[in-house]
Structure 1
């Protein structure tokens, strides 16, 4: 997902556009605020402009690394008792090319994740911006992530290599192949329209991962029916607990909600537009499910605001990693 300045067009693979975005935040918007408010009072206009400028400078210098840890629970009677208290940590939207070689921030993500002692780590897409070479400075650091049942990932719209200067099929294929190989070298397993079973004692749950499924202008690559095929054959009428990893939260409404028995879906993609004041965010113009938890029909969607972004800026929509704890419960609560 792009920054709030360009929600609908992916410009941010150019350094020049990052500079333009920064210029808009520091110069254009404060100037516009002053122009509007000067008709009320010069001092009101000056004070408000100074405050807006200070906030944007904070977002550019510190806000993008103010890592938040979100904790929530998911309750379902379909969850096997052996998985009661099962801890999942969701990471998403690192966009590693944005950071250059800022090891300290990525290291802090790894340390905070491991400190939560997760049973399972999932990454829900957009590991890079444009090129698999962006991975190289961080592979050693990210390979230190630890979870009892492993680390699983899916592909986001950026992971297909479609936003670089080279749009050839060969380049895109090479980028995708290298990115998957790099994740395997780190000990991650990429789920591409497939599912795996996770066992505790003699009980199990399913983890499902689909390739990117989005509304235009973002690409549709995935096939949920294909990912569910093996589960349908094995379930034989039983409503086994299922977790779906799907990068774009729009997919939940398109194909998951009330159309499947998937109890929990984890997504990213929106970044919360990297700008939020309370519940006010430009992301609302592009996404119904822009961030946080949503529950309908006893099915739950969580949309993480992600860890990286189009450029190094966050204000209000702070970067986050999320811990979801599963509980077997008959009250249908989600909190």
Structure 2
């Protein structure tokens, strides 16, 4: 209800607000309507950012979405059981409260995570990041590849969801990231699957880099997680400097990279297997746009439904936007593709 935010503004200014198109908020008006929110409108509303975020703002929830996009969300933890096959519930802790929307996600009000217990570990991971894999519903016994693994946050969650049977494989362009993944896995009592250094021309095993495989990891995966590089527009609340780094040229460069990643990894999925494509962005071009291009050029893949029954207000039709305000976390968009059975 926009009028609720307008207070004692003069009627002419109220009319001006009501007539303004939601996709192009007026900086002066919104500063008055939201005096406690540090909008930094000159950066947020320069034309390139406004154009690529227009679809995110053009609905009845515009004001809520804008405020959540630039306010820092709380910290979240994921409960990681020592034995994923027989998980124990987490212990009570005064600084933690469970999410009503997502099993295993806990909001932390203190400065540091509680120590490990006999039943498991507390791992820092944003709630929307947790939701992405939760909605893809990896199953125990499935073989997965985390193709942009970074330091291993989603990798460890993927291992828990598949009950580490077998451990997922992982790839990244950075050797240091894979070494951090090994360290984090060991810290929670886990080994890793095969680890691969990705390069434009091949993949090299981390342990024996002299034996490159031009086609990449062995393939025939039940699932591949592609947590692709992106603008990070869903994380502006935590990383406001990213607002200053978006240009039209950079957006084109990223969407091309995202599409190329999907195209390169598609042959590694078995018939009937899935690709989960994830970006911490709310830009339509980076998810729906890339997803449509991938499906148009890969007729052997179909959009697959996401297991988002816990969020009935989000349409799980193969592409799913989690705006920051919905889970009180970062903004994420995801798409799930299924390869046609032979």
| TM-score where L is the length of structure 1 | 0.36
Larger RCO (alpha carbons 8 Å, 6+ apart): 1
